[in-house]
Structure 1
Amino acid sequence: MKTQILLSKISRTKLTLALFAAAMLVGSSTVFAQVKIGTNPTTIEPNSNLEVEASTPGRKTKIDKTTGQVTIADGTEGAGKVLTSDAAGGTSWQNPLAGAMVNGTTGNQVTVTNTGTFATYSGATITLTRAGTYMVTAQWTMPTASTVYPVGNQAFINTALSTSPSTYDAVGVAAEWMVIAGGAYHTTPSFRVAVAGPQTLYFWFQTGFFSGELRFTETYAVGPF
């Protein structure tokens, strides 16, 4: 009789354990749908499958449960950066290698009429996508004959960049005093422009002792450095 009671207790224990294990298996998709490691282990963003959070606020690696996208926020992240390893295998977000070419637009043909110093917006623009220093170059043409001052066909036609299409602030200028010839094409000397972040700049003609038509045929920059 005692043996039967003992066997009955053992059977009930096994049944209880089996039922518990089954419940865990059924509910495992919910229990283990999200995993949080590190700081604040009981709090996880609702769209994350996995989060590893550092003790420094805002520093975490996470995987989105819908898209599978991995986000690594370690304080070095930023638009356009790439994940780079150092010699020890530690990673950080860095700007891509310098020296990429950025093409601008060529704008419109504009007419300049003056005998002194004047600046005319050309309609051309260039968008510098990241912070840093760029070397800017442009080519322009004089489509038709021009009237120049003074005698000797000497004038200055500067390529300049401004932060606005309506206000000329000359954030970068290629200054040139030159002999003018109608129909000629001219490539400006490269000049440096520094930006603190992504920015669109506007090409102007800054002229003196010159009247005539001008148009950019090519604009570009190399950088950032």
Structure 2
Amino acid sequence: MSAGDKTTGARLAALARELFEHGEQSGEPTLLTSVTDSAVDYVDAADFAGITLVDNGTLTSVAPTDPVAARLDELQHELRQGPCLEAAWADHKVLVDDITTDDRWPRFARRVVEETAVRSILAFQLYRGETAMGALNLYATAPQAFSTDDQETALAVATHASLALHTSRRGEQFTSALASRDVIGQAKGIVMERFDVDAVAAWELIRKLSQDTNIRVADVARQLVEADHPARQRDLTT
């Protein structure tokens, strides 16, 4: 292994630690900004970067490093075609060596040439689930800009980003689950007090109300707690 390879490996290891720290401590928005900033820093050919997120069919462009990246992501959302959407929905990697000669997305290619100086595009799928996916989008003004080394480095950045995003989202889901559990516990307490029943009977009442109204148990519990709150406030002030 050459000295240069060792240096790159050390930098990517540091990047992995940084992304995980951002995901755990600062949340997803800060993490995504760190991903695009790091992509431009680590991938020599990249002039701009952005991220496309797709949740339940809704497209969102986040953390662009420059207005150019924001505009290119916006164009793909508007036209519903382009390399970044292709990467997010179907392919792990999409490479455009020269947008002026690429015929895969003619409407998008025409607008890119008309509105920007970008000629090369590299997109990697960030993560994929049943209803959520994304892509890391790198843009360069030079044609055939992304060398094999650039592509390998971009893949490493995207891989680290995917792992960090997965960890961050799992943490958010866990926090949300804890909050829901607490609300359900409060609602059970309210039902137990109002109807003079035990915890099992209170849970059955809440679950039946959820089934009858076709509303999630957590939402039924939240409504019960919110409805009881004014009464408790009056009790405290009298």
Higher Rg: 1
| Bigger share in strand | 1
Structure of greater relative contact order (alpha carbons < 8 Å, 6+ residues apart): 1
TM-score class, shorter: under 0.3
TM-score (norm 1): 0.25
